[in-house]
Amino acid sequence: MLTRRIIPCLDVTGGRVVKGVQFLELRDAGDPVEIAELYDQQGADELTFLDITASSDGRDTMVDVVRKTAERVFMPLTVGGGIRTVEDIRRMLNAGADKVSINTAAVHNPDFVREAAERFGSQCTVVAIDARQVPGEQRWEVYTHGGRKPTGIDAVEWAKRMESYGAGEILLTSMDRDGTKDGYDLPLTRAIVDAVSVPVIASGGVGTLEHLYDGFAVAGASACLAASIFHFRQHTVHEAKEYLRQRGVAVRL
Amino acid sequence: MIAIIDYGMGNLRSVQKGFEKVGFDAVVTADPKVVLEAEKVVLPGVGAFRDCMRNLEQGGFVEPILKVIREGRPFLGICVGMQLLLTDSVEFGLYQGLNVIPGHVLRFPDGMEENGEKLKVPHMGWNQLAIRRRAPIFNGIEDGTNVYFVHSYYEMPDDETAVAATATYGVEFCAAIWKDNVMATQFHPEKSQEVGLRMLKNFGEFKA
């Protein structure tokens, strides 16, 4: 049986892992390569690096982080943040990434997703969707630029469209929940899981192990992304998976 | 020396670094002559079957690969590098492969379900190997061990004695091939942490 994945996410800027609340108030959480090795030892199923620096200097640093990580850990690596061109993707893949996650560039130019999938394959084309609930409605809107700019696009429709353009996976972040530790936005995640046939990664809001369980068991996510609960040593990945196994979720231990 | 064929498809660096990590020199090469001189050859591959096959042809790799295999040198195909060994694939049309292992590459059917949840395609993540035959790459590997897959197409060779392991995702499919000097994995050993590195080491140590 295919196991459900636990994916620690490392937000990286200036070559350091940081963590903020709703994309603000960044705290230093350490060296990305060392943290990647730690998660590797703990049995993480994949790793995601999110480059939260917008500048091109920052991207050179990110390529270097990916390169060093890929020399030391042998597990799937995804890189997101600032991926705007085919050349950006090529550089990350050549450095040792397996997948790239495309966010703002997909909204600006949806054909870029198609181009990426045709050139490099759907298996390495992840579309990241940052969504916020429309107040008072069971509807969610896509945001870009790290959650700052509303687009007017419906998140469920957008996920379906991105799948049709060749996205092989959806990384779904609730901007309402990100950094809050209140748990994933389960109705949002379930709505996207049911709308597309590609895997969906739940993200934004994990504060407890039970939240991971809910992401899988209630929302049907293929993978759960989490940052704070692992970075600040609240739990190890191994503990999280033991908990999930006890509650009947198929995980790799 | 192990030659890893670079035909413009996918992340080859992880395969190379994986071999280095377990003590074997591996070169990434786009030169068919280097392939012809190598002791062992690895054909990785991600992306579409059609594009992979076209790039192999344009790079002049088809004859060298067939020659290396005919001569009995150890050969390892990974992911689409395994699928290319078969007769044909239905990805984006019907495309011919190398036909080293007769059989067809098919798409996972729509509407597969498991425990009330629809199964997503690609099949992406860690799944268990059911080892049928102890291929040399499986030395020291436990039956039922988890390895990392990412694919939307699967295969089952016509001759089931070529199947070294299967995995199940809606359907039971061939997860590894072993026929004489030829081994291949649908999963990614270079992304399967310690257990995958052990397989790369086994391949490095394998004498055909």
pLDDT in tens, B63-95: 999 999 999 999 999 999 999 999 999 988 899
Q: Do A93 and B118 touch (CB under 8 A)?
A: no
Q: Which band of pLDDT confidence, cut at 50, 70 and 90, is reported for residue A187?
A: very high
Least confident of A10-14, A180-184, B24-28: A10-14
Q: In 3-state terms, chain B is what percent helix, strand and coil (to 5)?
A: 30, 35, 40
- The answer to whether residue B31 scores a pLDDT higher than 70 is yes
The whole-angstrom distance between B169's CA and the closest CA on chain A is 7
For chain A, give every domain's residue range.
5-246
Residue B98 has a CB neighbour count (10 Å cut-off) of 19
Superfamily of domain A5-246: Aldolase class I (3.20.20.70)
Joined together, the tokens standing for residue A187 give: 């109705």
Per-residue pLDDT at B47: 80
Per-residue pLDDT at A76: 96
A124-162 burial: b if 16+ Cβ within 10 Å, else e:
bbbbbbbbbbeeeeeebbbbbebbeeebebbbbebbbbb
Residues of B in contact with A42 (CB under 8 A): none
pLDDT in tens, A90-144: 899 989 999 999 999 999 999 999 999 988 889 999 999 999 999 999 999 999 9
Q: Do B190 and A45 touch (CB under 8 A)?
A: no
Query: CA A72, CA A245: separation in Å to the nearest integer?
Result: 28
pLDDT in tens, A146-180: 788 999 999 999 999 999 999 999 999 999 999 89
Q: Which band of pLDDT confidence, cut at 50, 70 and 90, is reported for residue A30?
A: confident
Per-residue pLDDT at A56: 59
Per-residue pLDDT at A47: 97
Q: Which band of pLDDT confidence, cut at 50, 70 and 90, is reported for residue A66?
A: very high
Share of chain A above pLDDT 90, in %: 76
Report the residue of chain B nearest A196, measured CA to CA.
Answer: B120
The whole-angstrom distance between A37's CA and the closest CA on chain B is 11
Q: Which band of pLDDT confidence, cut at 50, 70 and 90, is reported for residue A212?
A: very high
Find the mean pLDDT for residues B10-21.
89
Q: Which of B52, B79, B91, B174 is catalytic?
A: B79
Which candidate, B97, B76, B91, places its Cα nearest to that of B122?
A: B91
Per-residue pLDDT at A146: 77
- The answer to whether residue A219 scores a pLDDT higher than 70 is yes
Per-residue pLDDT at A55: 61
- The answer to whether residue A20 scores a pLDDT higher than 70 is no
Is the CB of residue B14 less than 8 Å away from at least one CB of chain A? yes
Find the mean pLDDT for residues A180-205.
97
The whole-angstrom distance between B66's CA and the closest CA on chain A is 26
Q: Do A74 and B196 touch (CB under 8 A)?
A: yes
Domains of chain B: 2-205 (3.40.50.880)
Average pLDDT of chain A to the nearest whole number: 92
Residue type, B38: A
Gyration radius from chain B CA atoms: 16
Residues of A in contact with B19 (CB under 8 A): none
